[in-house]
Amino acid sequence: MKALVYGGPGKKSWEEKAKPLLLHPSDAIVRITRTTICGTDLHILKGDVPAVEKGRILGHEGVGVIEEVGQGVQSFKKGDRCLISCITSCGRCAPCKSERYSHCENGGWVLGHLIDGTQAEYVRIPFADTSLYRIPEGVDEAPLVTLSDTFPTGFEVGVLNGKVSLGKTVAIVGAGPIGIAALLTAKLFSPEAIYLIDRDLFRLELARSFGATETVDAGARDPVAAIKEWTGKGVDVAIEAVGTPATFDICQNILAPGGRLAVVGVFGESVTLRLEKLWIENVTLTTGLVDTKTIPLLLRMVLAGRLDAGKLITHRFPLDQIEQAYETFSQAAREKALKIVLQK
Ligand code: NAD
Ligand code: ZN
Ligand code: ZN
CA 85 to ligand 3 centroid distance, Å: 14
Q: Of 58, 85, 109, 178, which is best to mutate to test ligand 1, by the most ligand atoms within 8 angstroms of its C-beta?
A: 178
Q: How many helices (H) and strands (E) does the chain have?
A: 12, 15
Nearest CA to ligand 1 atom 35: 265
Question: What local confidence, expressed as pLDDT, does residue 54 receive?
Answer: 97
Q: Is the Cα torsion angle 309, 148, 89, 45 positive or negative in sign?
A: negative
Pocket of ligand 1 (CB under 6 A): 38-40, 42-43, 149, 153, 157, 174-179, 197-200, 203, 218, 241-244, 246-247, 264-266, 288-290, 332
Average pLDDT, the chain: 97
Distance between CA atoms of 117 and 110, rounded to whole angstroms? 8
Which ligand has its closest atom nearest to the C-alpha of 99? Answer: 3
What number is the average pLDDT over the span 16-39? 98
CA 228 to ligand 1 centroid distance, Å: 23
Give 25's Cβ-side CA count (13 Å radius).
3
CA 49 to ligand 1 centroid distance, Å: 15
Q: Of 35, 36, 40, which is best to mutate to test ligand 1, by the most ligand atoms within 8 angstroms of its C-beta?
A: 40
Nearest CA to ligand 1 atom 34: 40
What number is the average pLDDT over the span 39-65? 96
- State pLDDT tens for residues 179-229: 999 999 999 999 999 999 999 999 999 999 999 999 999 999 999 999 999
- State pLDDT tens for residues 280-327: 999 999 999 999 999 999 999 999 999 999 999 999 999 999 999 999
Q: How many CB atoms lie within 10 A of CB 220?
A: 8
Q: How confident is the model at residue 337 (pLDDT cuts 50, 70, 90)?
A: very high
CA 38 to ligand 2 centroid distance, Å: 5
* Sequence-ordered list of residues with C-beta below 8 angstroms from that of 101, at least 6 positions apart, any chain: 85, 87, 89, 95, 107, 108, 291, 292, 293
Tell me whether strands 193-198 and 169-173 are parallel, antiparallel or unpaired.
Answer: parallel
One-letter amino acid of 1: M
CA 91 to ligand 3 centroid distance, Å: 5
Structural domains in the chain plus CATH codes: 2-148+291-343 (3.90.180.10), 152-286 (3.40.50.720)
CA dihedral 137, 187, 100, 339 (to 10 degrees): 60
| Minimum-distance ligand 1 atom for the alpha carbon of 177 | 26
Confirm whether pTM is higher than 0.85. yes
Distance between CA atoms of 267 and 177, rounded to whole angstroms? 17
CA 108 to ligand 3 centroid distance, Å: 8
- State pLDDT tens for residues 168-187: 999 999 999 999 999 999 99
One-letter amino acid of 120: A
Q: How confident is the model at residue 71 (pLDDT cuts 50, 70, 90)?
A: very high
Distance between CA atoms of 139 and 150, rounded to whole angstroms? 19
What number is the average pLDDT over the span 81-108? 98
